[in-house]
Structure 1
Amino acid sequence: MPADVISLREAQLSIEDGIAEFTHTRPERRNPLSLDLRADYIEMLDRVESDRSVRALIITGSGGSFCAGGDLRSLQERLQSDDPEINSPDAMRRRLMAGHAWFERLRNLEMPVIAAVDGPAAGAGMSIALAADFILASTRASFSMSFVKVGLLPDMAAFHTLPRIVGMAVAKDLMLTARRIGADEAERLGIVHSLHDAADLPAQARRFARRFAGASRAALAMTKRLLHKSFETPYAAMAELEANGQAVASATPEHVAAVRRFLAGEPSSFDWDREAAA
């Protein structure tokens, strides 16, 4: 089946063989997280969430850049405005909260999300990458919590995601220094899942995403949701959530079919190790 390609404002969404790929398409400005790109994320999420055929989402950039972070031109226009609905602390608060409305949808998307990072992922660009379940990076990728360089705090959920991935001490290092780290260091810190040549990264990301095609969408979705709750949830509450989720998963057609195949000596529809060796 040919790919379904949708051109948005500053991004492109393609869906092919159950894999959605969302690409930032403003490489001449290093793909900043502009207001238009934020609107594109909302439209992409609407489409991907409603399409039950989609099994995984890839987020990537174009032109050797993932995302340079917030659009400083837009921020400058805000600072120069005399309108309190645009240039006031409350206006900034509302802008950020509106961003969290779609960002939480991205983080909790009921399928694996893969960030394919080539070139810089800075500021909010790094925050977007951290919201993915897996980061595949090119050897020339770089990451930076660059916010304090422009006198701002990290945002787009970075205070939540980064310490959980690298620990508090390293999160303080990256946030307070705003230093840039290369792909090798990001892999050592556990931020990056795997490294690839820049030319090979798109194909590797698609191959990685396709390995989820045979998995139970319901099981993956509930596993993600429980993992996201695990750091803040007491044991007893977590045990109840686990039991409730397992009750639902055990009644899905995917579980029934998997048990039948196992007892019949047939190969599983989802076998990560088998797919890796293929």
Structure 2
Amino acid sequence: MTAPLIEFQEAALRIDGPVAEFSHQRPQSRNAMSMVLRDDYERMLDHVSRRRDVRVLIITGSGGSFCAGGDVKGMNERLQNPDPELNSPDAVRRRLQDSHRWLTPLRELDMPVIASVDGAAYGAGFGLALQADFVIASTRAAFCMSFARMGAVPDYGALYTLPRLIGLARAKDVMLTARRIDAAEGQALGFVHAVHAPEVLLAQAHAFARKLCDGPREAAAMTKNLLNKTFETDYATMCSLEAYAQGIAMHTPYHATAAARFSQGQPSAYDWDRPAVPS
């Protein structure tokens, strides 16, 4: 039975058991990051974050593109508009700050987020993919920090996320050259987790998500939250946060069940290395 589809203006959300899939649905524009799509993200995150039954979120594109970046036609129209509420340095600042109203919750979501990238992930689309915890790409995926081509500065959090994923020198290369990076190079650089053929990409993303669903909800959420803070936090503070988090984790039903299984000689319910049982 196919899970019901929740339709937004330029995207759609399907929740299949513990896995939510949010797909960009404007392939005619290569799923460019429009103001409408930003609003769809905000509404989707509000919905998913309230669902205790959802354990993993997949974000993806449609029509062979993940997200081709900002809406350049819309940018050009704004540049021709004399209204300072639409065309001024402050207007740009406000629009970008508004984006972080949903980019930050996406990054901080209390569940793993997977970006399933087929085709173009350019500019803001690349920045969006980097907000995920895992990037799974097709063999035809292409990543580009294309901002320099437009005389712009990388945004959507990329100045923060990319150097932490691949190192400062490599981030300078990727951002200052604005060159195209294929999936294989993305994997070599370290921001792509896995590469699959386009026809099986989404199925592989769902299989990966369902393996993550077997893990501990609370411990995974706290581990993700702490890792997101680790480069800005001193050792003593991180150890203190670690202790508080462990106090919570070791009083969850998941931990109690795992400890009981171990003491009874039963295998762990969450064993990533255990071969999957054929369905």
1:69 touches 1:126 (CA, 8 Å); kept in 2? Answer: yes
Which amino acid is 1:174 matched to? V
SS of the residue corresponding to residue 39 of structure 1 reads helix
Q: Bigger CA drift: 73-82 or 146-155?
A: 73-82
Rounded to whole Å, the distance in 1 between the matches of 2:90 and 2:218 is 39
- Structure 2, unmatched stretches of 5+, are none
Gap change, CA 1:227 and 1:275, over 3 Å in 2: farther
Q: Which residue of 1 aligns with 2:157?
A: 157
Please name the residue that 1:26 is paired with: 26
How far apart are the structure 2 equivalents of 1:166 and 1:211?
26
2:193 maps to 1:187: no
What amino acid is the match of 2:273? D
1:18–1:54 Cα contact (<8 Å) kept: yes
Q: Aligned letter for 1:45?
A: L
Q: Distance in 1 between matches of 2:188 and 2:263?
A: 41
Q: Higher mean Cα deviation, 266-275 or 178-187?
A: 266-275
Aligned match of 1:196: 196
1:145 aligns with 2:160: no
Equivalent pairs counted in the alignment come to 278
- The residue correspondences of 1:11-160 to structure 2 (distance < 5 A) are 11-160=11-160
Measured after TM superposition, the shift of residue 24 of structure 1 is: 0.6
CA contact (8 A) 2:142 2:182 kept: yes
Q: Which amino acid aligns with 1:25?
A: Q
> Is contact 2:42–2:101 with CA below 8 Å preserved after alignment?
no
The answer to whether the 8 A contact 1:64-1:119 is kept is yes
SS for the counterpart of 1:62 is coil
CA distance in 2, matches of 1:17, 1:269: 18
Is 1:238 paired with 2:227?
Answer: no
Sequence identity percentage: 56
Using the TM superposition, give the Cα deviation of residue 9 of structure 1 relative to its aligned residue in structure 2, in angstroms: 0.7
Tell me the SS of whatever aligns to 1:230: helix
Contact 2:45 2:105 in 1 (8 A): yes
Q: Is the 8 A contact 1:211 1:275 kept in 2?
A: no
For residues 113 and 194 of structure 2, the distance between their equivalents in structure 1, rounded to whole angstroms, comes to 15
The aligned amino acid for 1:222 is M
Could you tell me which runs of 5 or more consecutive residues in structure 1 were left unpaired when the two chains were aligned: none
One-letter identity of the residue aligned with 1:14: R
State the 1:275 CA deviation.
5.2
Q: TM-score, normalised by structure 2?
A: 0.97
The separation in 2 between residues aligned to 1:173 and 1:205, in whole angstroms, is: 29
Checking the alignment, whether the CA contact within 8 Å between 2:230 and 2:238 is kept in structure 1 is: yes
